[in-house]
Structure 1
Amino acid sequence: MAYGNTAKQTARGTTGWQRYEVTLPLSPDATELFFGGILEGKGTAWLDDLQLTIDGKPLDQAPPKAIKTYPAEQDTTFQRGSGVVFPAQLSAQQIENVGVLGRVWGFVKYHHPAVAAGNFNMDAELFRVLPAVLAAPNENKRSQLLSAWVAKFGPVPSCRKCTDWPTDKVRQQPELAWLNDEKQLGEALRNQLKYLRQNRNQAEHYYVGTTPNAGNPIFRHELPYNATTAGTTPDAGLRLLALYRYWNMFAYFFPYRYAIGEDWQPVLPEFIPKLTNATTAEEYSVVLLALIARINDTHATIYQDKVLDQYRGLLYAPVQVRFVEGQAVVTDYYNQELGLATGLRKGDVVVEVAGVPVSELVRKWQPLAPASNEPTKLRNIARLLLRGNTAQLPLLVRRDGQTLPIIITRVGPDKINIMLDFGTPDKTASPLRLLPGNIGYLALGTLTNDKLPEIMLAAAGTKGLVIDIRNYPADHVAIGLAGHLVKKPIPYVRFSQPDITNPGAFPYFKYPQYIKKGAGELYLGKVVILVNEITQSEAEFTAMALRATPNATILGSTTAGADGNVSEIVLPGNIPTMITGLGVYYPDGRETQRIGIVPDIEVKPTIQGIKEGRDELLERAIEVIKNSE
């Protein structure tokens, strides 16, 4: 609902007592408040005298808030498990039965007015009907069962407002061709669902809403089902629910469904036996990760999962590896002392890891490294290559034409600076520095809006400005920074957002968004923006805004291809993931998802350049500025 922190007022090193405040709007839909502290690196933090106020009044003096309750919340029968038992081997008929149920369940969940009103717990309703549908001997019996089940939700009043978006106003229409499949649905069920589609919910929805201002979906009232025995996986019914939940959220609320590269419909039956047979925690998490990877969205992965951390490895090599010229190359050290102690040098090509060729490891991790495009998938795989659970790791590396066996020691994450993976090794560094030739260098990984006016004032006299977005911006500086580079308003982006009253449709915002001249002096020099596969999400949005300014050039390689606000999803077993929830396009409608921000000048690092310690993108940017005179 809302989030805030003290990132702009951090305590570093030895610091005396200071007062810190976070202020947030209190949404009428909010039901919980979480607070805590984040400690980066080593040390100890003391917190005292915590105060919580509502509109300036202490919490115990604030008026109590009336919390609306829903019938769906009172249906708690299945909170600790589905109770559904699956056979060891599903037949083709059973897979088809369960696949049709998954589509119908999701359709009813997001279209039926009574469900939208919070009158039904859709998880519980699924578990009540699932055993009978699973046992249905044929299509006719299945359709009869589902038709009676849909009728259970009550009559649907006629809807005069239920119209579809004109083609020129919408980027993506619902994908509902399956409603015409008479063989799978039967005539009565098919007519029920078509009538429901024509008279779908037009009010607020119990299970899904949209964020204020941005408009990406918020998934609500989705139980995490984490009250299971420690070390076990959710039961088979809950594992199937995970598939239904994710598959339907994607089908109705992912803005780039058309761009994933395959038909989403067959993915549902494909993963039914995979998930029902995933009886261990590791198998369950790995299968879910493979499902999530199929949508080809860099935002979409599983976050903070201890089972997957163990699967990938709890120990790290103290060296950074990236794919350069198609090979796994040591590019830097996470820890200078430990990195040098491995015997690996920058520019070494890793050929084998524990006797396994790197090419084989890439094939292993391909289905389990969610990403929008190939460079970003390789970025993610490179971070996995040297992870493991044993301290000693034998490698075969190629250096100066020779192949060398080397044994390195892996360490825990507390011994290394993993921020190197995100392009910001030192958060305390100044955002601006002066390069030879009176050229400014601006790193967005440490630039905040409160520092922007003085930074741009300091950069005003430079011949040109290199803006490095091979990192994740420390703040939303896109509009403020671009405002220093334009004389008049310029369109830079167009959005599409979900229509909750027409699930699956993503209409365009009415008009493109504009960059307007901000406060402070106009920067007149040449601007070169550096990007690569680390440039993701907020960084890509920033690159889009800067690209629209008249004197800017994008230099580097294709970015991560995951622009747009994210929407969080929780799956049974309390497994967190997310999807890109907002469509982001150039003003003329060109794509950014999967494609990324394509540079005007393509420059990639080389193995030779890495061996020599050069930043070849920065070198070329300086050359472009010098030649622009």
Structure 2
Amino acid sequence: MFPKDWFAWGDYTLTADTTTVHSGKFSGKIKATKAGSFGSIGYRIPANYEGTSIQLEGYMKLKNVANGFGGLLIRIDDDQKSIAFDNMESQHIKDTKDWQHYSITLPYPREAENIFIGGILTGTGEAWFDDFVLTIDGKDVQTLAEKEKPVFKATLDNEFELGSKIDVPKLDEALISNLELLGTVWGFLKYNHPEVCKGNYNWDFELFRMLPNYLKTTNKIERDQILLQWISKYGELDKCTECKKTSPEAFIKPDLSWLNADDLNPELKNKIEYIYQNRCQGKHFYIKKGGAGNPDFSNENIYYSLPSDDDGFQLLALYRYWNMVHYFFPSKYLTDNDWNGVLKEYIPKFINAKNKFEYELASIELIGEINDTHASTSVGFSNVQYKRGNLYPPILTQFIDEQLVVTDYYKPELKGASQVETGDVITHIEGKSINTILDSIRPYYPASNDAAKRRNIAYDILRSNKEQIRIDYISNNQKKAALLPLYEKSALNMRWYKWTDEPCYKLLDGNIGYITLAFIKEEDIALIKETFKNTKGIIIDIRNYPSTFVPFTLGSYFVSSTTPFVKFTKFNLDNPGEFNFTAPLEIPKDAETYRGKLVVLVNEDTQSQAEYTAMAFRAGANTTIVGSTTAGADGNVSSIYLPGGLLTNISGNGVYYPDGTQTQRVGIIPDVEVTPTIEGLKKGRDEVLEKAIEVINE
């Protein structure tokens, strides 16, 4: 267990040692587990200090360090990359050494955003670290006053916080087209114009300021002149000497095809092209890179107290979301509908929303257009959630063979009250057929694929604000009806109903190891390797969300050599809309390689980190994936707020196999496809697990 807020980098074993210390109660210990890799214990400090020089001092002890080195480290980042770094590699400190004092000194960059300090070990052996002191210009950072954060003009503008004062006239085709063009230009300027980039303007409110005149335009000539005057308000741009053309190797290139419209004023077109050629570079007020290179939509005002029917804010929500996806969603090209046509389609839906409920519905439907299971709509959508119901059934359901089937109970003691048995098929709810209900609610459940959409619908379909609902169902080939009681969520322990204190691993008959990642802990991994090293095969169940990140620590046990398993696409902050592939990540070879078969179990509950983990295990030569389509949503999540406090997400990085095969929407495709059957459920069988055992025994 580490001290509070310290974290681990790399693949080695990192612990807090209470016996070998320089002073105090414990030191940080790194023990090599494989040659050629590294381990580091680190701590992040926001760079909220003024100064010109930074120094890290500390004590280090080494034991049998070979083929590498031990050292202190400092890494300083801006909001995009590392800008200063030293880990003492050049000092070649190795072998066995008792506690000694070391230090690193670096220039302290003015643009620093984060400071990372720590200790590092490469090669083989052990290292201990203690008594770190970080100083800037000779003064301990713990005694320094934090520098004042810059105040941006955009944050001082609060003119429209209580309402946009925009009333959009009755829509016709011409006005819809004009509003489509405005939304496209507004978003382009938001992410490309240097003055917006600097935070000199509240770009939401600049929209509200120009809209009244824009809404009065009667022809395209007048429309384009208003746009030209609006752009001119923000001054002439200096020539950009750092703006690079889009890389020919870029996987996704910026889409400015809208500039080719025949009716667009040539002067306006030239003006926009000039801005693009001299666009913002570096730090941006409205967008930055997150920790994993995914988009971080900073400084977006949430407007919790949104008026219930405000044309301006509803239009702003559409513009904001459409442009975020247009420039920063790595899987925009995979959506069912061409994203370029979505903006125009949704203008009437947002403008005609008469109240908060209709606005939430329009937002959910728009969010569903990106076909991403990460695009949740549970936070902030209070009216929709109330409509779905605040009471829940005591049973779990799942779509099997196109039918809604009872699969489990949240609380066994409520089984009798539910009146249904595992394997029963629900055909109607409150007199409506399941297919009719599906058709009516399908657009309001965003998902990458049908498997994930049905999973999410099955979770909600029996919700209500009534204390009981009528269901019609088929049990043992007989048609039946019942009043199903519903309960408060807290009474059902829905999130933890499967939790157990039992180990995450066990030995099955036939000398086969079984591991569920739902409860796995870091300390289990060494025990698993030792316990299962002589088994015929190992089954890893990822029909869940892993409780610990194990792609490298456990994945390395199943590869016979260092093996690439994944690569990403990440956006270019200096060229919004451009995405490029990273180099593939590799699973390092462990000191010992498992020689039996590995079978990994997946289904629609396998999502995000679970899918990433399955990719890591698939890198092994003896791995077989068994089960059914996964959720098809991988890549670090980026959060998006829309006016009214609506929170949703996107998969912020594109995730691919090393050969470029996509995983978004597709998910992890099983080598052997198996799905549960109704008859199997009735008999209490786990048919996916049975197939895994069969594969190992082949």
TM class by shorter-chain length?
0.7 to 0.9
Identify the residue that residue 565 of structure 2 maps to in structure 1: 492
Give, in angstroms, the shift of residue 279 of structure 1. 2.6
CA separation of 1:238 and 1:59: change in aligned 2, threshold 3 A: farther
Distance 2:500 2:270 in 1: 59
What TM-score, normalized to structure 1?
Answer: 0.88
Is the aligned partner of 1:407 residue 2:486? no
Distance 2:240 2:436 in 1: 56
Identify the residue that residue 224 of structure 1 maps to in structure 2: 302
What TM-score, normalized to structure 2?
Answer: 0.79
- Normalized per residue, the structure richer in helix is 1
Letter in 1 for 2:327: Y
Identify the residue that residue 138 of structure 1 maps to in structure 2: 219
Report sequence identity in percent: 42
Give, in angstroms, the shift of residue 62 of structure 1. 4.9
Letter in 2 for 1:288: S
Identify the residue that residue 396 of structure 1 maps to in structure 2: 472
| 8 Å Cα contact 1:568-1:579 kept in structure 2 | yes
| Of 354, 358, 361, the match for 1:283 | 358
Distance 2:464 2:5 in 1: 35
Identify the residue that residue 517 of structure 2 maps to in structure 1: 444
| 8 Å Cα contact 1:234-1:573 kept in structure 2 | no
Distance 1:482 1:274 in 2: 47
| Of 180, 184, 190, the match for 1:99 | 180
Identify the residue that residue 84 of structure 1 maps to in structure 2: 166
1:473-532 CA distance string (max 9 Å, x none)? 1121111111111221101001110001111111111x21111023x5322221100000
- Aligned pairs for 1:70-219 (under 5 A) are 70-87=152-169, 89-167=170-248, 169-183=249-263, 185-212=264-291, 214-219=292-297
Identify the residue that residue 122 of structure 2 maps to in structure 1: none
1:539-562 CA distance string (max 9 Å, x none)? 000001100111111000010000
Deviates more, 1:425-434 or 1:529-538: 425-434
Deviates more, 1:122-131 or 1:265-274: 265-274
1:165-190 CA distance string (max 9 Å, x none)? 344x322112211011131x321111
Distance 1:233 1:549 in 2: 55
* Helix, strand or coil at the partner of 1:442: strand
Distance 1:550 1:234 in 2: 58
Letter in 1 for 2:164: S
Identify the residue that residue 295 of structure 1 maps to in structure 2: 370
| 8 Å Cα contact 1:255-1:498 kept in structure 2 | yes
Distance 2:259 2:47 in 1: 37
Identify the residue that residue 387 of structure 1 maps to in structure 2: 463
| 8 Å Cα contact 2:6-2:43 kept in structure 1 | no
| Of 423, 438, 444, the match for 1:368 | 444
* Helix, strand or coil at the partner of 2:224: helix
Identify the residue that residue 474 of structure 1 maps to in structure 2: 547
- Aligned pairs for 1:291-370 (under 5 A) are 291-305=366-380, 306-370=382-446
Runs of 4+ in 1 over 4 A off after TM superposition: 3-6, 54-62
Distance 2:500 2:652 in 1: 29
Is the aligned partner of 1:270 residue 2:341? no
1:313-339 CA distance string (max 9 Å, x none)? 111111001000111100111111113
Distance 1:487 1:477 in 2: 17
Distance 1:331 1:294 in 2: 30
Distance 2:522 2:220 in 1: 60
1:185-207 CA distance string (max 9 Å, x none)? 32111111111122211221111
Answer with 1 or 2: which has the greater Rg: 2
- CA-based RMSD of the aligned residues comes to 2.7
| 8 Å Cα contact 2:252-2:577 kept in structure 1 | yes
CA separation of 1:451 and 1:272: change in aligned 2, threshold 3 A: same
Is the aligned partner of 1:512 residue 2:584? yes
Identify the residue that residue 150 of structure 2 maps to in structure 1: 68
Give, in angstroms, the shift of residue 82 of structure 1. 1.4
Identify the residue that residue 677 of structure 2 maps to in structure 1: 606
* Helix, strand or coil at the partner of 2:283: coil
Distance 1:528 1:120 in 2: 55
CA separation of 1:459 and 1:374: change in aligned 2, threshold 3 A: same
| 8 Å Cα contact 1:234-1:572 kept in structure 2 | no
CA separation of 1:276 and 1:58: change in aligned 2, threshold 3 A: farther
Give, in angstroms, the shift of residue 610 of structure 1. 0.7
CA separation of 1:58 and 1:364: change in aligned 2, threshold 3 A: farther
1:195-220 CA distance string (max 9 Å, x none)? 112221122111101023x2001001
CA separation of 1:62 and 1:456: change in aligned 2, threshold 3 A: farther
1:197-248 CA distance string (max 9 Å, x none)? 2221122111101023x200100110001135xxx53622111111111000
* Helix, strand or coil at the partner of 1:332: strand
1:89-112 CA distance string (max 9 Å, x none)? 322222222111100000000011
